[in-house]
Amino acid sequence: MKCTQSTPAFFLRSLVSHVLPPGAILAVSLLLVGVVPGATAAVTVTAPSTVDSVAGALDYATQAFQDPWDMRQLTDFGWFLYSADSPASSLSNLSFNGGIFSATTTSTESLLFLLDSPIPGTAPIGKTGANFPIDADEYTVLAFRMSVGASSAAQLFWSKVNMFTDAVNGGDVTCAGNIPVSPGWRVYVVKIPTLTRFYGVGTGPYPWAGLMRMLRFDPTIVSGDTVQLNWMRLVNDDATQYRTIAWSGASPVDIYLDNDSVAANGNLGAVATGVSGTSYSFYVGALPAGDYWVSVVPAGANPATSSSYSTGHYHVDGTPTIAFTAPSEEGSADDFATAQLGDPWEMDSLVDIDHYEGVSSLFTASVAAQNEAGASLGNVGVIQGVSSPALPGSVGDPRLWPLFWMNRGATKRIDPDRYRILTLEWGVPGARDLVNGSIARVIWRVAGELVENVSEDIIVNSKAGSSVTIDKVITDMKTLPLETDPGGSPSTTGWSKGTSASPGIDGFRVDPHEFSNPTDFYIKRVKLAALESMGNTYQVGWTYTPAGSATTLSLYYDQTGQGFAGTQVVAGLDPANVDATHGAYVWDTSSLAPGSYYVYATVVRGGSVINKAYARWPLVKAAVTAPVVTGVGPAAGSTDGGTPVTVSGAGFQSGAVVKVGGVLATGVVVAGVGTITATTPAHAAGV
């Protein structure tokens, strides 16, 4: 059996393979033994004997992503599973169906990334360890429900930096195991710090402690096996959530969990086999929400015919999830293209592109699409193009300027202090292939300069299939790193105005891939938005996915966006006070000084915080200045009212009113400090 770390071909490094110490396979075999032929003595389960409610452990995926690893969407695993990249997943026949992930192993080193590693030279965007490191001191137990066809061993790989095995990029990897796995469905609860660490690369092997930026799970070392996973949970180790399963009669025994007390319809799987004595301590809190009965049988007996069920059961409470809708992850409604060009970059017309190069054809199209999670988007409108063949010895380089300095950029420049939150929705066909071209960039020119700023590589995630994967990228242009590969970015000014007489950014460009052969690309939307602003009030909004018993929600703010140690705004809110899955609260911000403020929420049950989440971007409270109106469009409308108008200027605050001839307009929306939209009322002529 091997415990190997394959170095990705993205960096053209050699494969590193490490063989376990002698006897490792034998050790696994011994751990799987526990069947006592002929054991038929009766068993009576004595605990649980009543309904025993358990709060449920804190789960990393639920806390970090507000999305548990429940095997209901593609993004429950990292993108190496769907890509042509190395290390290969060595899994085929992938499916997510009804909360079950299923695949067939194609080698002895099949693998699943629970947390994708940062990749040196790429921008820290998306669901990777660069943005969501695991606190290994907090989350120490990995629980999962899995079925395999043959006895084997599972293994874990982790890294504090990244998974790349060379000193230049600071790579370090530890491999740990073995976790004995046996045929059929079983529930596994693994204390990660107790696992044997077989080898390390770079500064490893090192213990499960500190911050981890990559976690990989290898479910078996058997090729050609079918692996099924129902759920995985990386949780804290809470002594108050262990329970003692007790029985009398036969010994040794096998212990199973079930979601009812009917043996004939099957069970959830064994939690332990060959257990001697009359009791077993089990970490019930590591399980997902639900009701769990215990079945105990003499070791090796058929649970369908020999089970003794508990008269009581464990009830594990659920953890609701929360995601902010206001402040929005896309920033405010004040976006550059809408406010300054009068037409959002929705990619519904070639007018949205000022200029392009390295493209053999460009057109609008409707394509069948899905999002990264695998949910269908139906047919979506895009600008579709085909890249020109790469020059010999080079890579493909399709280049599209939504804003070009010899076109609209000559007079309409991006104010980088105002417009900074970038949302890009784009895609390429086929499986992600970093070696051959699934790399994009954002490039911009500061007015007065002759060269452009080039961002670090942006990975474009895609999956083979009939639907195009629309990869949604959101980043703050103020913090997006510049290219550091040999040669670096031609300009290093960054996202700033520069010092020209007419400051700002006069060129903004997207390069959707680097495939050398002519390759399609799809651009659905480009948005450059301002941060949301607040005046004396702000309405915070969120989506809420209920789970388990009743909870309340508290709101807080701070000025760091991390640590959850801020000032309370309100406590005891009904988290679903708008409808079953949405909530809102009008925050009185009149006493806040000018500055930037992050909002976060905590979900509380029984006095304990069971979940918490930040809004992605801060709210900005500007110093109060007199509003200035610089323009109103259109210049004329009906005296009957009903004309949509846009007011441009500066110093606009939440709560502003618009009057036409002294009559209040309706539908007033402060899209930003410089933009208000409204609908005119009926009014006298000439005003």
Q: What is the pLDDT of residues 32-80, one digit of tens each?
A: 333 333 334 689 999 999 999 999 999 999 999 999 999 999 999 999 9
Distance linking the first and last C-alpha atoms of the chain: 84
User: Closest by alpha carbon to 612, among 553, 561, 572, 549?
Assistant: 553
**Structure tokens belonging to residue 280:** 């077993």
The pLDDT of residue 169 is: 59
pLDDT score, position 631: 86
pLDDT at position 544: 97
Cβ–Cβ under 8 Å, residues 416 and 505: yes
> For residue 137, what pLDDT is reported?
98
Domain match, 67 and 105 both: yes
Q: What pLDDT is stored for residue 113 in this prediction?
A: 98
Q: Which residues of the chain have pLDDT under 50?
A: 1, 5-40
Assess whether 597 and 543 both reside in one domain: yes
In-domain check, residue 1: no
Gyration radius (Cα) of the chain, Å:
29
Using the 8-state DSSP alphabet, how is residue 530 labeled?
Answer: P
Tally of domains in the chain? 5
Q: What is the dihedral of CA 514, 516, 517, 523, to 10 degrees?
A: 10
115 and 180 belong to one structural domain: yes
Closest C-alpha among 168, 169, 154, 163 to residue 204: 163
Q: Name the burial class of residue 503, with classes exposed (0-12), middle (13-18) and buried (19+) by CB atoms within 10 angstroms of its CB.
A: middle
Q: Which of 290, 259, 322 is nearest to 603 (CA)?
A: 322
Strand stretches in 139-241, DSSP E: 141-148, 152-159, 173-181, 184-191, 196-201, 211-212, 214-218, 226-235
Q: How many CB atoms lie within 10 A of CB 248?
A: 13
Q: Is 424 inside any structural domain?
A: yes
Whether residue 429 is found in the same domain as residue 343: yes
Residue 138, domain member (yes or no)? yes
Looking at the structure, do residues 477 and 609 belong to the same domain, yes or no?
Answer: no
Pick from 404, 403, 384: nearest CA to 512? 384
Residue 254 shares a structural domain with residue 217: no
340 part of a folded domain = yes
In terms of domains, do 471 and 584 share one? Answer: no
35 in a structural domain: no
Same domain, 270 and 389: no
Same structural domain, 396 and 480 = yes
The amino acid sitting at 282 is F
Q: How far apart are CA 511 and CA 398, in angstroms?
A: 6
Write out the two tokens for 38: 């002929």
Q: Could you tell me the residue range of the domain that residue 77 belongs to?
A: 9-23+59-237
C-alpha–C-alpha distance, residues 149 and 107, integer Å:
14
Output the six-digit token pair for 296.
């105990």
Tell whether 199 is covered by a domain.
yes
Question: What does 61-109 look like in DSSP terms, one character per residue?
Answer: HHHHHS--B-SSSGGGS-GGGTSS-SS---EEEEEEETTEEEEEE-SS-
Q: Are 645 and 637 in contact (CB under 8 A)?
A: yes
* Contact indicator for 314, 284 with CB cutoff of 8 Å: yes
CATH of the domain at 118: 2.60.120
Q: Pick the last residue of a domain from 604, 621, 638.
A: 621
